[in-house]
């Protein structure tokens, strides 16, 4: 028979001490197992907030200059050129909107398919972050462009009809973007895996509604 020793006297019995140690070990193990997912979640949220800030900065530039920033200009405009993993963001934009008054434009070369496979037309620009896997998987799903570069951000200058596909989170074996250049220290190799990109896009109509006078033809 084990006699109990009062807490106020000499402390715990060996059995009670063992129980406390088991509980502490369980709590510690649970905390360690949750540390990885919580860290990844924090990085994902940080990248998302950076992408949102970049989107607003680009819209602010457009409101001022009535055109999109070019590949060479965008890195000087956005507050963040890289996501929380250190990978450059991707900026896909329509060249016509970067070379003339947006209010004079009636269409763009960029279409976008969302995770529901709904096609959205007349996209002005798309911003993409690599999520937490350090792999940009969003790019040109149909059509092509030879004008992909790294200018602080990865940039894709679109001059002909293309479709950008946004996949559902966790969709397997996805990679629509690849970049390598001797002039850049950043690369994005072809690495199909579960999709976790973060993306934002803005349509031509959204921009025209913000910056063009009420007299412009909204059907354009």
What is the tens place of the pLDDT at every residue in 13-39?
Answer: 777 777 777 778 777 766 666 555 666
Task: Look at residue 203 in the predicted model and tell me its pLDDT.
Answer: 98
Please compute the mean of the pLDDT values over residues 196-217 and round it to a whole number. 86
Q: Write out 155-182 in H/E/C secondary structure.
A: EEEECCCEEEECCCCCCCCECCCCECCC
In-domain check, residue 169: yes
- Domain housing 193: 41-211
Compare 63 and 27 and report the one with higher pLDDT. Answer: 63
In-domain check, residue 33: no
Residue 69's pLDDT band (boundaries 50, 70, 90)?
very high
Calpha distance 81→207 (Å, rounded)? 22
In-domain check, residue 15: no
Task: Look at residue 17 in the predicted model and tell me its pLDDT.
Answer: 76
φ, ψ (nearest 5 deg) of residue 40: -65, -40
Helix axes 14-65, 204-211, angle to 10 degrees: 60
Task: Look at residue 7 in the predicted model and tell me its pLDDT.
Answer: 46
Contact 58, 125 (CB under 8 A): yes
Contact 93, 164 (CB under 8 A): no
- Reported pTM: 0.81
* pLDDT tens string 118-144: 999 999 999 999 999 999 999 999 988
The residues, ordered by sequence, that sit 6+ positions from 169 with a Cβ below 8 Å of its Cβ are 115, 195, 196
In-domain check, residue 138: yes
In-domain check, residue 6: no
Q: What total number of domains does the chain contain?
A: 1
Task: Look at residue 77 in the predicted model and tell me its pLDDT.
Answer: 97
């Amino acid at each position: 028979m084990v006699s109990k020793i009062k807490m106020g006297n000499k402390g715990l019995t060996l059995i009670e001490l063992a129980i406390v140690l088991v509980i502490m070990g369980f709590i510690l193990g649970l905390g360690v197992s949750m540390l990885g997912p919580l860290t990844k979640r924090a990085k994902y949220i940080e990248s998302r907030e950076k992408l949102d800030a970049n989107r607003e900065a680009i819209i602010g530039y457009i409101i001022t200059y009535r055109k999109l920033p070019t590949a060479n200009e965008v890195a000087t405009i956005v507050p963040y050129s890289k996501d929380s993993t250190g990978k450059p963001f991707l900026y896909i934009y329509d060249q016509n909107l970067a070379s003339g008054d947006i209010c004079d434009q009636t269409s763009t070369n960029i279409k976008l398919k969302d995770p529901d496979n709904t096609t959205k037309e007349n996209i002005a620009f798309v911003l993409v972050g690599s999520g937490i896997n350090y792999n940009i998987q969003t790019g040109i799903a149909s059509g092509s462009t030879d004008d992909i570069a790294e200018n602080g951000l990865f940039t894709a200058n679109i001059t002909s009809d293309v479709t950008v596909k946004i996949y559902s989170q966790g969709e397997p074996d996805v990679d629509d973007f690849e970049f390598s250049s001797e002039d850049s220290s950043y690369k994005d190799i072809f690495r199909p895996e579960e999709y976790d990109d973060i993306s934002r896009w803005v349509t031509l109509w959204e921009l025209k509604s913000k910056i063009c006078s009420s007299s412009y033809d909204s059907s354009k």
